[in-house]
């Protein structure tokens, strides 16, 4: 990440959170879903460009003791390949390292575009375990 960008140790404003999720290819969420995410993260940061526009973000959810889950790693497509995602994940991992008890377990679900980055930062596949999920109230 070069000096034209600034990393801020907070979640982005809600409108930018929703935009970054949508524009980066993450599942879009509603304002009702996003508002608690922005204020309820255990840790969060975002990157702004020279004009102060949020262009990358990430959060950690967790119990503060043992489990920490990295989520919402997103970079505006026009700012990708600048090291912003790496800077966000590195900052989040450092924050966990600084504030969590030793031996914290950090997980994430690595979509294909980010898997190389996550592996380069020390994340490993959890095989034979399998990541699973469901959306409540979405119908079957």
pLDDT tens sequence across 64-78? 999 999 999 999 999
Q: What average pLDDT is seen over the chain?
A: 94
In this structure, how many other beta carbons lie within 10 angstroms of the beta carbon of residue 132?
6
The domain total for the chain is 1
pLDDT of 130 higher than 90: no
Q: Is residue 125 part of a domain?
A: no
Q: Is residue 53 part of a domain?
A: yes
What pLDDT score was predicted for residue 132? 82
Q: Is residue 106 part of a domain?
A: yes
Cα 104 to Cα 64: distance, rounded to the nearest angstrom: 9
Extract the tokens encoding 129: 């375990």
Mean pLDDT for 17-24 is: 97
Pairing status of strand 67-75 against strand 6-8: unpaired
Beta strand segments in the chain, E: 6-8, 43-48, 54-62, 67-75, 105-108
Note down the domain range covering 82: 6-120
């Amino acid at each position: 990440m070069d000096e034209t960008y600034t990393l801020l140790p907070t979640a982005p404003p809600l409108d930018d959170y929703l935009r970054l999720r949508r524009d980066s290819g993450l599942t879009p969420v509603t304002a009702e879903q996003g508002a608690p995410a922005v204020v309820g993260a255990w840790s969060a940061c975002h990157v702004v460009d020279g004009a102060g526009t949020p262009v990358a973000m990430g959060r950690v959810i967790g119990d503060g003791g043992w489990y920490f889950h990295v989520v919402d790693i997103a970079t505006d497509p026009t700012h990708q390949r600048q090291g912003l995602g790496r800077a966000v994940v590195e900052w989040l991992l450092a924050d966990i390292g600084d504030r969590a008890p030793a031996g914290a377990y950090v997980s994430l679900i690595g979509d294909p575009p980010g898997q190389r980055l996550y592996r380069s930062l020390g994340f490993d596949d959890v095989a034979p375990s399998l990541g699973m999920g469901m959306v409540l109230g979405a119908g079957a």
